[in-house]
Structure 1
Amino acid sequence: MTTAAIITLLIVALAIILFVTEVVSIDVVAISLMVILMLTGVVTVAEGLSGFSNPATITVAFMFILSGALLKTGALQYVTHRLTRIFIINHRLGILLMMVLVASISAFVNNTPVVAVFIPVVIQIANASKINPAKLLIPLSFASIMGGMCTLLGTSTNLLVNGIALREGVEAIGIFEMSGLALILLFVGILYMVFIGYRLLPSREPESDLKVKFGLRDYLTDIEIMPGSKLVGIKILESSLVRQLQMDILEIARNGTRFTLPPGDFVLQAGDILKTRCSAEKMMALKDQARIITNPDMKIGDHDLGEGNSTLVEMVITSNAAIEGQTLREADFRRRFRAAPLAIRHREEVLRENLYDVVLRSGDVILAEVKSHFVHALKLMENEQDAPFAIISQQELTDFDRRGFWTTISLVIAMVILAAMGWVDITAAAIAAVILLVFIGNITMKEAYEAVNWKIVFVLAGVLSLGIAMKNSGLDLMIANLLTNNLGTFGPVFILSGIYFATSLLTEVMSNNATAALMAPIGITIATTLGISPTPFLIAIMFAASASFMTPIGYQTNTMVYSAGQYKFTDFIKVGFLLNLLFWIISSFLIPLFFPF
C-alpha cells in the first residue's frame, strides 16, 4: 500500500468518526478534509477546489433558489386547509394523501426546504384533527426522502453521484432514468407507512410548551361572520373554528342580544360577532384559511382576514410609553403604526368592549397584523429611547401568489423538459430559470442568496475531494479488487446487493452525501474491474444513500423532524428498520432488471 493510500485511508477513517460523533459541524468536517488532502499532496489544489465548480454543486445551489421561489408563492397554504378536513374524516387517508403530495413535490424541488415549510403545516393539521404530531412528522420526512429518489433533481445525493460519474467518464444518468424503479419503492414505502409504520409510531403525549399549557399567550378577540360565509347555518361544534382551530367561543352578539358561553348546537348566522379566546398560532391558522377564500367570510373588528402579504406581530406596551392610558383609537394606532389590531391580552380579565375602546396599560400585549414592508420601521421604533412597545414575536403570513406560482412552476417544468430531452444541460437550465425569475421579479437576489442552504453546498464541495483522493491513491482499486476477489464468484447481483447494504449502513451514521462520495468511485471501479456497466451500481448507491430511515442523523430531513416531533432515537429504528430491509431486498432484485449489467 502506497503512502498516499495510507494517508487517504486514515483521512476516510477520520471522516467517518467525525461524521458519526458530530463533534464538529458536518460542513466544517468536509472542508477540513479537503484542506488536509491538499496539504498532504494526495490531491492537487485544483483537484481539491474542483468541488466548488462541479456541476452537481452548482446545480444543487440553484435548485435551492428555485425551491425558494416556488415556496415563496404561498402555494402550500392552498392545500393545508383541504388536508385538514381529510384528516378529520380519515387519519389514514390523510397520511396517504399527505405523503403522495410531499413525495410529488420533493421529486422536483429539493426536499430539505420542502420539509422545512411543511413541518409547521403538519403540526397545525395534527392539532386541528387531534392527532399527535409524532404520528405525522416521520411520515413527512420519509415521503420527502422517497420522493427525492424519483428524479435526478429530487435530492443532492442523486446530483452528486451523477457528477462523480461524469468526472470519471461514465455516461450521465438521465433525469427520469431511475423513476420507474423509484416509483415502485415509493408505492411500497407509502403502503408500509400507512398500514404498518403508523402503528409503530409513538403515541405518547408530547411535552407542552408551558406558555401554551397555562394559556399565557391566549388572546381575546371579536370575529364577525360575513354574509355568504361557509359558517352561516352551521352549529358551533361543527364549525371550523371549533373542530379545526379549537377556539373557545365565550360570547356571541346578535342584533343587540348577547349569548354568553353559547351551547355547541347554537347555529351561527351572518352578522354574528363572536368573542373568542385563542393563541397567536391559532390566529395565524385562521388567517391562513381565510386567505384561500376569494371573498373574506370573516373579519376581526373592522379588519378583513384576507388582506395582502403581512406579518403577525405581538407588541408589548412598555412602561412609561406615550400610548399607555390611551385607547387604540386615541393612540391613532392603525394610521400611526400601519397595523390592524386583531386581539389584546389585557392582564387576566375578560374584555367586554371593542378593541379600539380598550385602555392600554403597561404589559398589555397587542396582536396586530402589519404589512410586511413596514415591519422594519416598527423595529426601528422599538429601538428608540421612548419606544411605545417591544416586539416579542412575529410570524409572516404569505398570500397565495397565483401569478408567481404559475410563472415559477412553468419555468421549472420547461427546465425539466429541456434537460430531459437532452437539449440543454441541467446545470445551465437551472441557472437560466433562476435568472429569468430574478428578471421578472418573482425573487430578488437577496432572497436567492438566503434560499441556498450553504451548509449542503460546502459539504458537497468538500466531500467530492474524497473520491478524487481515493482514485489518485489507488485506494478505490484496492477495495474493488478485495470485493471482487472474495465475492466475484457469487456474481454481480450479489456484489450489487452488498454495495447497497454497505452504503445503507454507512449512510445511517454519517452524511448521505459523504457516503455517496465515498462509495460511488468504488462502485465505478468494481464495474470496470468486472467489465460490466457501472450504472446499476451507481443507481444502488443513489437509492441506498438516500433511503435512510433507521436513524435521525442519516438524512437531514430526519434530523429536522427529530426535535419537532419530540422523538426518541429508538422511534426511528422501530419504524425504519423494516422499511430499510424492504428497500434493500426489492432493490437487489429489481435494479438488475431495470439496469442490466
Structure 2
Amino acid sequence: MNFVGPRLLKGKVDKNSEETNLTTHQLAGEYDLKHHLRRLRILEESPLVGRCLRDSGLREDFDLNLLGFQQEKEVDPLHQAVADHTLRPGQILYLHGEEQDLEKVVRDLSLEQLPDLQSYTDVNARGGLAEVLLTPRSGLLGRTLTTSRFQDRYRVNVIAGKRRGVLLEDLPHQRFKFGDTLLVAGSFRALANLRSERFNFVVTGMPSENPVEDFRHNRAWVAVLLTLTMLGLMTFSSVPSVMVVLMVAVAALLTGCLSTEDAYRSVSWQSLILIATMLPMASALEKTGGVTLVAEFLSNNLGTYGPQFTMIGLFLLTSIFSQFISNTATTVIVTPIAMVAAEQAQVAPHSFLMTVAVAASAAFATPVASPVNMLVMSPGRYKFTDFVKVGVPLQLVVMVLSVLLLPRLFPF
C-alpha cells in the first residue's frame, strides 16, 4: 500500500508537505471563531441579573453559546459555564454566535461590549478546543443540540459545526447528520474524556497544546501484570475465557488501575444490544431453513469445484455484509452458514470459520464499514470513492491469501 496507495489516491498525498501539529489557533481559524466571539459585561439594569444560566435564554432566544465567564475583572480566571450558576452585575460573558445575534443580545439584555479578542487562545488558559466527527451509527443523528443534551452529557459546549466542509448556520436548530464535524470547547479534562467515546463520534482534531490526560503511572506495572495473567490463563488454563476476563476486570478495579466511572463508560452498550438482537436473528435463519438454503447454494454452485471455492463464496458474502453492518453482527449471521457449508462439504469447519473471521475484519471498501475508517476520513479529506479504490483491491488480496494459507494452517 505504501507504493500503490499514493497512485490510487492522486492528489491526496503531498510528498513535499511537512507534517505539522494542529494548534488551537489553526482550529479556531478553520471555524472563523474570531468573527463570532464577543466579550460582554452584564450591566446593573440587565434582565440577566439574578437569573441562572439555565434560564438565561442565551441559547434558546438568541442562538448563542456561552463559552465561560469572568467575575468582574478581565484578569480574573475564566470559569466554565455551569447551568445553575447565578448571573451577577459586572460579570463578563464570553459568547459565541452570529454577528446579528450578538448585536441583538447587547441591545435587548443591556450588555456592554468589551474590546474584541485577537483569537480563541486568549480566552482560557485552562480549557481549549477539539473537533469531533459524527459516526454513521451515532445516537446523535437526527437530533439537535437541545434534544441531544450534548453539553450535559460531555461537559463541553458545541460552538460551531461543518457539513461537507461548509460552516453550519443556525447551529442550535440544525439536526445532526452523518459526517458532520463539531467544534467543541471545554476544560482540558472534559476534552480528554471525549476520546473514550466510541459510537456517537470520534475525535478528529485535538490541538497539540492540550495537555495529555493524567495517567495513573504508578499502576502501570499492575495493569501489565494483569494483562499477562489474562493472556496466560486464556491460553494455557481450562478456565472459560469469559470468567478470566471478568476476574481480571474486577482485579483492575480493586487495584485502582481503573475507576468505576471509567469502567462503566468503557462498556460498549450498543455492541451488547447489537449482539443480543443478532443472536435471535441467526437462530431464526437456522430454524426457518435460511442458513441451509444459503449453504446449499454455496455448495451446489461453488463446492463442486473444491472447498477453496466455497471459502471464496463465504469471504465475499461476509465482506459484503461487513461493509454496511458491524463485523460482530456479520460474524453472528454468517458463522452458522459456514458451519452448515462445511458439514455438507464433509470437511472440518475450521478453515471456513476462520475465513468468516478474516473477511469480517477486512472492512476496507466503505467509510461506514468501521469506526477506524471514519476516523481517517475527515482529516485525510477522503471521499467515499477513495475507500472503494483502495479497499476493494486490498480485500481481494486478503481473500487470495486467506484461501491459500488457511487450508494449510487448518487442514480440511
TM-score when normalising by structure 1: 0.40
1:393 matched to 2:189: no
- The equivalent residue for 1:437 is 252
Rate the CA distance shift 1:489–1:325 in 2: closer, same or farther, 3 A: closer
SS in 1 for 2:261: helix
Q: Please, which of 279, 282, 291 is the counterpart of residue 25 of structure 2?
A: 279
2:3 to 187, 190, 195: 195
Aligned to 1:219: none
What displacement does 1:507 show?
Answer: 2.0
CA distance in 2, matches of 1:561, 1:445: 31
* Secondary structure of the corresponding residue to residue 194 of structure 1: coil
Deviations 1:339-363 (A, max 9, x none): xxxxxx9xxxxxxxxxxxxxx9576
In structure 2, how many angstroms separate the alpha carbons of the residues matched to 1:482 and 1:323?
70
Is 1:581 aligned to residue 396 of structure 2?
yes
2:42 alignment counterpart: 320
Identity of aligned residues (%): 28
Kindly indicate whether residue 123 of structure 2 is the aligned counterpart of residue 366 of structure 1.
yes
Query: 2:64 maps to which residue?
Result: none
Task: Write the distance in 2 (CA, Å) between the matches of 1:407 and 1:488.
Answer: 51
Q: Within the alignment, does 1:466 sit opposite 2:281 as a pair?
A: yes
Shift of 1:416: 1.1
CA contact (8 A) 2:298 2:313 kept: no
Aligned positions of 1:488-527 closer than 5 A: 488-527=303-342
Once the two structures are TM-superposed, the CA of residue 317 in structure 1 deviates from its matched residue by 5.3
Question: Shift of the alpha carbon at 1:393?
Answer: 2.9
3-state DSSP of counterpart to 1:195: coil
3-state SS of 1:529 partner:
helix
The structure with the greater share of residues assigned to helix is 1
C-alpha distance in structure 2 between counterparts of 1:418 and 1:465, whole Å: 31
Q: Secondary structure at the match of 1:424?
A: coil
- Taking CA–CA contacts closer than 8 Å with sequence separation of 6 or more, which of the two structures ends up with the larger relative contact order? 1
| 2:364–2:391 CA contact under 8 A, matched in 1 | yes
Contact 1:503 1:545 in 2 (8 A): yes
Supply the distance in 1 between the matched residues of 2:260 and 2:401 (Cα, whole angstroms).
44
Displacement of 1:196: 1.7
Q: CA deviation at 1:205?
A: 9.5
Query: Hey, what's the Cα distance between the residues in 2 that align with 1:590 and 1:323?
Result: 65
The alpha carbon displacement at 1:545 in A equals 1.1
Question: What does the per-residue CA deviation read over 1:535-590, in whole Å, with 9 as the maximum and x for residues that have no partner?
Answer: 11100000011101111122232233334433210010111121111111111111
* Shift in alpha-carbon separation, 1:420–1:198, aligned structure 2, 3 A: farther
Task: Give the AA of the match of 1:468.
Answer: S
Opposite residue 125 of structure 2, the aligned amino acid is: A
Cα distance 1:533–1:393, how it changes in 2: closer, same or farther (>3 A)? Answer: same
Q: 2:365 aligns with which of 550, 557, 581?
A: 550
Q: Structure 1 residues 570 and 549, CA, compared in 2 at 3 Å: closer, same or farther?
A: same
SS of the residue corresponding to residue 393 of structure 1 reads: strand
Partners of 2:221 and 2:371 in 1: CA distance: 29
The amino acid that maps onto 1:590 is L
Structure 1 CA distance for aligned equivalents of residues 70 and 401 of structure 2: 68
1:405 Cα deviation from its structure 2 partner:
2.8
Structure 1 unaligned spans of 5+: 1-192, 207-241, 248-277, 283-314, 338-344, 346-359, 371-375, 380-390
1:415, 1:402 → 2: CA distance? 20
Residue identity in the other structure for 2:25: S
Going from structure 1 to structure 2, the CA distance change for 1:566 and 1:530 (only over 3 Å counts) comes to same
Cα pair 1:463 1:513 within 8 Å, conserved: no
1:97-118 per-position Cα deviation (integer Å, ceiling 9, x unaligned): xxxxxxxxxxxxxxxxxxxxxx
Mapped to 1, the partners of 2:40 and 2:221 lie a distance apart of: 45
How far off is 1:281 after superposition?
6.6
TM-aligned CA deviation for residue 474 of structure 1: 2.5
Q: Which runs of 5+ in 2 are unaligned?
A: 29-36, 44-68, 81-93, 95-112, 128-151, 156-183, 190-211
* Secondary structure in 1 matching 2:126: strand
**In 1, are the aligned partners of 2:351 and 2:406 still within 8 Å (CA)?**
yes
- Partner AA of 1:505 in structure 2: I
Residue in structure 2 matching 1:403, options 199, 218, 232 = 218
Residue aligning to 2:200: none
Give the aligned residue type for 1:326. Answer: K
8 A contact 1:318–1:363 mirrored in 2: no
Q: Give 1:320's aligned amino acid.
A: I
Question: Partner letter of residue 279 of structure 1?
Answer: H
Q: State whether residues 527 and 534 of structure 1, in contact with CA within 8 Å, keep that contact through their aligned partners in structure 2.
A: yes
Q: CA deviation at 1:280?
A: 8.2
1:414 has 2:171 as partner: no
Give the whole-Å Cα distance in 1 for the aligned partners of 2:19 and 2:239. 50
Work out which of the residue numbers 380, 384, 399 in structure 2 matches 1:569.
384
- The reply on whether 1:529 has 2:328 as its aligned counterpart is no
